[in-house]
Structure 1
Amino acid sequence: MTTDFQTARVALGVRLRELRTESGLTGKDLAEKLGWQRSKVSRVENGKQTPSVTDVHAWADGVGRPELAGELKGRLAALETKYRSWRRQLSAGYQARQERAITETSATRMIRGVEVTRIPGMFQTAEYARHGFAASAEFRRITTDIEGAVRTRIRRQEALYTPGKLFRFLVWEGALYARACPAGVHAAQLDRLVSLIGLDTVELGVVPFDAQLRRIPAHAFWIYDQRLVIVETINTEMWLDDEESIQLYERSWDWLAESAVSGRQAQRLITRARGFLGEI
């Protein structure tokens, strides 16, 4: 995890240790009382393991301070709000996550995004999205409602035609070539991108392979107005709403935008990638 996450987890562990010592219990005493391994108490107190909601409830009861369960749950929720494991998020399927995306999009006037290896979800065709969801489900070894997720993602795209909205996306040229679907599906996706150029609510920039960059983009991210940044990793989705993080990602977006081309130049790059697929 990140330094911020680990710092917060250590702080929670310090608080739990404080409650234990105030109660006069040793780590062994508390472990026996809760029916845990002694090592679990140690890992939690030292910030090496994230306790569950059930764990912090049990801890509060075990140290004789059940009234503090609310405080401990709040501290735990602060961690889970920013760092959400995909396995937990997708336990109810991809469609539920797409519904949350619709909610965030509805509450946002401007979304700025960077995609390095794929086409942004807001611009995806149904077939491109379907292959993406299927590959992700296989990788994560989860069973999910792919068709429901596709329908919901496409419904989210209705916001592209809402007056007053603005979607400013930067796509690394390599994403135009990275193909995780049949050539025909990828070709149709590139055609869809071209069709969006010139839409009043869309500003699409492509960062060419040969562009000089002030900073190489490390990963994809989306900025919702100036209130939220969402970053995806392999196992976690981070929702960052602190001012420092937002300003950092805004700077990253601005620096990358300096190297992007748009309009006819972007269209030429997309058309070149489309031609690479040959006759479909």
Structure 2
Amino acid sequence: MSTDYQQAREVLGARLRELRITCSDGRLTGAQLAERLGGGWTKSKVSKLENGRQTADADDLRAWAEATGHPDAYGGLLAQLRGFESHIRSWRRQLASGHQPVQDAITAEHDRTRVLTIWENILVPGMLQTADYARHVLVRHAALMQSPRDTEEAVRARIRRQAGLYEPGRKYRIMMWEGALHALVCPPSVLAAQLDRLVSAIGLDTLELGVIPFTASLKIFPGNGFWIYDERRVVVEDWHAELWLDDSDSVATYLRVWNTLAESAVYGADAQNVITRARRELNPR
């Protein structure tokens, strides 16, 4: 879990503790508050929330504010919760209803974006995935996260988003590490078709497709994938969550990372040669 996220939970917990010890009818112990709150509440839960070891939900915050005699504090507590939840979106919560809602949330960001800047280190970006490739990626992710299987709905949502590649006025700056061309996250025959798709996309007037070859000299290591939406928001993917970052400093940092990586990338015919070489080495069965 990120340090920023944990610090935000601890700050919220400190506020909850403050409300408990300033209860309108006298200071409450953790056990007394749990008893007052009733079913589902224990002294342990009170302690975990106050010490930032558990994340409250909106119902928890409302109940806490009312039980401590501070109902007017609920709005502020909820704002704190929304503030850090909007930045750290856990896969457990996002995938509770499957992958399609996640795809729909990303589509909403795409729809309001004119310039999308993408870096991927080990997967072909979703904007250029074939349906078969996307299907294998989503199935494996659902298995890892033990989330509901709505694979076909999610695949359709992802593929529909690719219509933006053919809309005038949009720009997609997509760059990937050569490892994405070789990673067998799907059967070789599916990867072969995916590489053919990449070659065919080169030349679209909305697309700048760059590849960093294994042999390129690097000024920075190729870290996690990320997406920059019109220089107003960055989405970074990790194993436990997606980070949605809106502050200007974070956006500027990821733009610097992308521009630094881009110094090692090849484009046009040179990128096509790298992709074609990976395709020849594949020998799909």
TM-score using structure 1 length: 0.96
Query: Which segment drifts farther, 223-232 or 132-141?
Result: 132-141
TM-aligned CA deviation for residue 243 of structure 1? 1.2
The aligned residue for residue 33 of structure 1 is 36
From 71, 79, 95, give the equivalent of 1:74: 79
**Matched residue of 1:276: which SS?**
helix
Q: Does 1:85 align with 2:90?
A: yes
Unaligned runs of 5+ in 1: none
Which residue is equivalent to 2:160?
A: 155
Question: 1:68 Cα shift?
Answer: 1.9
Equivalent residue, structure 1, for 2:7: 7
Distance 1:77 1:51 in 2: 11
Give the deviation of 1:144 after TM superposition: 2.1
Instruction: State the distance in 1 between where 2:257 and 2:171 align.
Output: 19
- Give the distance between the partners of 1:90 and 1:210, measured in 2 at CA: 38
Q: How far apart are residue 133 of structure 1 and its match?
A: 1.1
2:257 to 252, 268, 274: 252
Post-superposition offset of 1:215: 1.1
SS in 1 for 2:102: helix
CA contact (8 A) 2:95 2:148 kept: no
2:68 counterpart (60, 63, 79): 63
Distance 1:94 1:198 in 2: 31
How far, CA to CA, are the matches of 1:93 and 1:47 in structure 2?
28
Q: RMSD of the TM alignment (CA)?
A: 1.3
How many residues of Structure 1 are paired with residues of Structure 2 in the alignment? 280
Q: What corresponds to 1:181 in structure 2?
A: 186
Counterpart of 2:110? 105
Misfit runs of 4+, over 6 Å? none
1:135 aligns with 2:121: no
Which SS does the other structure have where 2:86 is aligned?
A: helix
Cα displacement (A) at 1:196: 0.9
TM-score normalised over the length of structure 2: 0.94
Cross-structure match for 1:238: 243
Partner of 2:214: 209
Q: Aligned partners of 2:148 and 2:56: how far apart in 1?
A: 26
Find the residue that maps to 2:172 and give its secondary structure. Answer: strand
| Superimposed CA distance per residue, residues 212-238 of structure 1 (whole angstroms, 9 cap, x where no aligned partner) | 211102211111011111111112111
Gaps of 5+ in 2: none
Partner residue, 1:229:
234
In structure 2, what is the Cα distance between the partners aligned to 1:33 and 1:247? 48
> Does the Cα contact within 8 Å between 2:97 and 2:147 map onto a contact in 1?
no
Counterpart of 1:273? 278
2:21 matched to 1:21?
yes
The 8 Å contact of residues 33 and 67 in structure 2, kept in 1 or not, is answered as yes
Contact 2:234 2:244 in 1 (8 A): yes
Provide the rounded CA distance (Å) in 1 between the counterparts of 2:56 and 2:205.
47
Contact 2:234 2:246 in 1 (8 A): yes
CA distance in 2, matches of 1:30, 1:162: 57
- Following superposition, the deviation at residue 40 of structure 1 comes to 2.1
Cα separation, 1, equivalents of 2:12 and 2:82: 11
Rounded Cα–Cα distance in structure 2 between residues aligned with 1:218 and 1:227: 21
In structure 1, what residue type is equivalent to 2:227? W
Does the CA contact (< 8 Å) of 2:177 and 2:213 recur in 1? Answer: yes
Q: How far apart, in 2, do the equivalents of 1:55 and 1:169 lie?
A: 42
- C-alpha distance in structure 1 between counterparts of 2:211 and 2:284, whole Å: 23
Letter in 1 for 2:247: D
Percent of aligned pairs with the same amino acid:
52
Distance 2:13 2:49 in 1: 6
Residue 61 of structure 1: how far off its partner (Å): 1.2
